[in-house]
Amino acid sequence: MFLCLSSLNEKFLRGLGQGGEKRMKRSFKRNVKAVSPVIATIIIVAIAIVMAIAVAYWMLGLGSSFTRFEKLEFTTAYATVSTNQYNITMTIKNTGSATATIDTGSILYNGRPASAYTSVNATFSPTTLDPGQSATGTIILPKGDTWNSGMTVEIMLHTAAGKDYPKVVVLP
């Protein structure tokens, strides 16, 4: 086998030495049809631009479906006093892009749930806010040992999405 390969190499080398190299180059140049480098560059750039536009449209469409969020803002919050209770009135607006649902059972008053106090009551109408919609809520705190005039009350609204929105109100 070694003998066969060496004899083929010899024939090949002899062929090159007799002008075979020039013949190979000429035939190679004659048979190859190529696109000029400038045209190839233009084609590649055009394909890249088309792909970038397609990806941008896809991402914009996909991004809008994943970037929905809720954001509640207090537009007003104030406290009034009657003979035996404090009434805290709040107006809340959903400025986000997703529906927000207020969980009235999870509202915290100074960091504690309503069940830790006696006769604390909260109502919001409506409890589910679409984007741009507002709701009015009333929280009733009984006058007495726990709630006194001049006291600061931190109210933490909790939503179904798990977000907390604090507001501080001073009792009159």
Choose among 165, 111, 169: nearest CA to 140: 169
Contact call for residues 129 and 99 (beta carbons, < 8 A): yes
How far apart, in whole angstroms, are the C-alpha atoms of residue 70 and residue 164? Answer: 11
pLDDT of residue 130: 93
pLDDT of 118: 84
pLDDT (0 to 100) of residue 54: 86
Ranges of residues in the chain whose predicted pLDDT is under 50: 1-3, 5, 8
Q: And the tokens for 16?
A: 């090159």
pLDDT of residue 2: 47
Give the per-residue pLDDT at 51.
95
Residue 22: per-residue pLDDT: 52
The pLDDT value given to residue 62: 65
